Structure 1
Amino acid sequence: MRTALLAIRNRLDRAGIILSGLCAVHCILGVVLVGVLGLGGEALLSPSIHRIGLAMALVVGIISLGFGVLRHGRVAPLAIGASGLTLMGIALLVDHGIEETVLTIAGVSLVAFAHIRNLHGAC
């Protein structure tokens, strides 16, 4: 059973890293396509995309990073991930643009780093 839980946690950490990368790509492409080319504003900048992404990040982060604390006893990955999720949440409160992009990319970078450290059991 312990091996199964470890495998699930590892998959969730990997999913968190992938979701963080996709979020960063979405933010960068959103700024470029909307700001420079004026394309896709309705779809790319939809607030629901950001809310859904944050909700998914919260679920994956809480489960996998929480399991990591239980497994290796290190709270640092959870704290780093929580900081990143907080930045992502703050990004939902600002207008679309550079501020939102910077907050989101900083947040997803911290979350991805937390998942990587969680996979390695150290921080």
Structure 2
Amino acid sequence: MTPDAHSSASRTSLRRRLDQLGIGLAGLCVLHCLATLLVVSALGLGGHFLLDENIHRIGLLLALIVAALAIGRGMLRYGRRGPFYVALGGLALMGIALLVPHGTNEFLLTLTGVAIVAAAHWMNLRSPD
């Protein structure tokens, strides 16, 4: 394998791992949302921790970083705009969710945004290099 081919394969492998990380983060977000709904509603426990705004801000920041690295790289390097635009829509919904009070609207905006970002990572992961 030539040095250029090895470097290219390494970058592709990194992008794939970042896309997989993005999908994993989306899954953790869904678990967090569902756990919050169940634990706080059913038991009245953990509201101070599970509903903390910083968890949502940090989650959005992580989603932005991973999407920029994986999906942004795919767009810049290979011209794949589809995953980028899909991710942008999902990240926008996640950002809007931070602006609404906790409740059904926030929950639905967040889960929809997370699902869309995960789909963008999946599209990026499935794209040929």
Which TM class, normalised by the smaller chain length?
A: over 0.9
Identity %: 48
* Equivalent residues of 1:88, 1:108 under 8 A apart: yes
Provide TM-score, normalisation by structure 1. Answer: 0.95
Q: How does 1:88-107 map to 2 (within 5 A)?
A: 88-107=94-113
SS at match of 1:95: coil
Name the residue aligned to 1:76.
Answer: 82
Tell me which amino acid in the other structure corresponds to 2:75. Answer: V
Asked if residue 8 in structure 1 is aligned to residue 14 in structure 2, the reply is yes
Max Rg structure:
2
Asked if residue 36 in structure 1 is aligned to residue 42 in structure 2, the reply is yes
Residue in structure 2 matching 1:24, options 23, 30, 36: 30
Q: Which runs of 5+ in 2 are unaligned?
A: 1-6
RMSD value, Cα: 1.1
Q: Which runs of 5+ in 1 are unaligned?
A: none
The number of residue pairs the alignment matches comes to: 122
Render the CA deviation track for 1:43-100: whole Å, top value 9, x for unaligned: 1000000000100000000110011113432201010001000000011111111111
Distance in 1 between the 2:43 and 2:83 partners?
Answer: 38
SS at match of 1:50: helix
* Equivalent residues of 1:54, 1:88 under 8 A apart: yes
